Amino acid sequence: MSAEPARLAAAETVAVELGERGYDILIGPGLIAGAGPELARRFPGARYAIVTDETVAGHHLEPLAASLTDAGLAYSSIVITPGEASKSFEVFGDVIDGVLSARLERGDLLIALGGGVVGDLVGFVAGVVRRGMRFVQVPTTLLAQVDSSVGGKTGINTRHGKNLVGVFHQPSLVLADTGALDTLAPRDFRAGYAEVAKYGLIDDPAFFGWLETHWQEVFAGGPARIQAVATSCRAKAHVVRIDEKETGPRALLNLGHTFGHALEAITGYDGSRLVHGEAVSIGMVLAHDFSVRMNLCSPDDAARARAHLEAIGLPVSPRQVPGGVGTADDLMAAIFQDKKVKRGRLTFILTRGVGQAFIADDVAPDVVRAFLAEQI
């Protein structure tokens, strides 16, 4: 058996069961270098456009391109500027122009090689070009592997807030190369880990307990990392299967995100001050503390969530954001732009304890404002 099939055979597979829109998530090391034969097998006759950013291209574009070439697959590449600023109408238009200039047809595929920014942007492009093209997610960050690459949420940001323009468009395949995570800066790996911990805090206390014991092995790589990514992907795949377009239980995946997105908006999506996973970490701690304030959750459970995230090296308070986060009124204005606001009513994911998150509709804004005023 050649090296590429051996790598693919060793990968763990998680199925996202959505009927005709279903797809597999392959998880393991070496999947980028072995992508060509897998793509050729699954999508015979297709051509490709690889979309990536300058940073990721320096690490992973050459091995991916070589694998496609060795498998006899035709491709072009589009390289964008790294960072949240690329989730914009301008870059969206540039990528569309690159795809059309490459003369890709509706039956061809885009490859999103990168983190959540690239995946969200490319998924949106694929969702609208030629009224819908197929695409493959090749997430290269931990955050993207366990969250944004799975589930079909795509989009870009506007001056009004994050991810406010986009479509639901499922990928045709996800290749989560856990070896690629070795190229991440420690800060970025920690930020992605916040989304891993989230799955335990939502409804899997046993997984959260496992993470408390094994998180250092997840950081080191090897079987524990694959297990953490696979467990996270299974959790998300299950929720997506029962609520693909977030009309009900899928909203639980937003634990920490209402507060977190507001913090990101206040900081102008400045990744030097705050990256998404750090915002989610603070947001999850705020969600637990607010649940304590509402007499829903015990202080001990809130302290446990905070202690684990703090042990990882993640921020757990708005006071830790460089440059501050403005006033409570500033944060409330950002919260009211959140997609989960319905007819002016606030929706939060709150909790009754570790692994006991639930959707709370119609949370009183004045109570939230008073709570935030204390936190900042």
Question: Cβ distance 130 to 105 under 8 Å?
Answer: yes
Active-site choice (254, 278, 304, 339): 254
Q: Is 308 a catalytic residue?
A: no
Determine if residue 339 is labeled as part of a ligand binding site: no
CA atoms of 32 and 13, how far apart (whole Å): 15
CA atoms of 122 and 111, how far apart (whole Å): 8
Q: Is 236 a catalytic residue?
A: yes
Active-site choice (7, 134, 153, 288): 153
Determine if residue 118 is labeled as part of a ligand binding site: yes
Q: Is 250 a catalytic residue?
A: yes
The amino acid occupying position 317 is: S
Active-site choice (244, 246, 264, 278): 246
CA atoms of 261 and 275, how far apart (whole Å): 10
Determine if residue 264 is labeled as part of a ligand binding site: no
Handedness of CA 211, 116, 359, 249 (dihedral sign): negative
Q: Is 246 a catalytic residue?
A: yes
Q: Is 212 a catalytic residue?
A: no
Q: Is 87 a catalytic residue?
A: no
Determine if residue 162 is labeled as part of a ligand binding site: yes
**Could you identify the residue written with the tokens 């990536």?**
52
Active-site choice (198, 234, 276, 304): 276
**DSSP letter string, 106-148:** TTSEEEEEESHHHHHHHHHHHHHGGG--EEEEEE-SHHIIIII
The amino acid occupying position 195 is: E
Active-site choice (60, 190, 250, 306): 250
| CB neighbourhood size of 332 (10 A) | 17
CA dihedral of 11, 16, 17, 19, whole degrees rounded to 10:
-100
Q: Is 169 a catalytic residue?
A: no
Determine if residue 116 is labeled as part of a ligand binding site: yes
The two three-digit tokens of residue 218, written as one number: 């997840």
Active-site choice (190, 257, 288, 304): 257
CA atoms of 145 and 233, how far apart (whole Å): 8
Question: Cβ distance 198 to 255 under 8 Å?
Answer: yes
Q: Is 195 a catalytic residue?
A: yes
Determine if residue 119 is labeled as part of a ligand binding site: yes
Q: Is 304 a catalytic residue?
A: no
* Strand order, beta sheet including 12-16: 12-16, 23-28, 173-177, 134-139, 109-114, 48-53, 75-80
Active-site choice (90, 103, 105, 131): 131
Determine if residue 213 is labeled as part of a ligand binding site: no
Active-site choice (134, 169, 234, 236): 236
Q: Is 245 a catalytic residue?
A: no
Closest CA to 283 of 312, 249, 253, 239: 253
Helix/strand/coil for 256 = coil
Determine if residue 93 is labeled as part of a ligand binding site: no
Determine if residue 257 is labeled as part of a ligand binding site: yes
Active-site choice (4, 38, 84, 195): 195
Determine if residue 140 is labeled as part of a ligand binding site: yes
Closest CA to 27 of 154, 176, 137: 176
- Catalogue the active-site residues: 131, 153, 195, 236, 246, 250, 254, 257, 261, 276
As annotated, the binding site for Zn(2+) includes: 195, 257, 276
As annotated, the binding site for NAD(+) includes: 116-120, 140-141, 153, 162
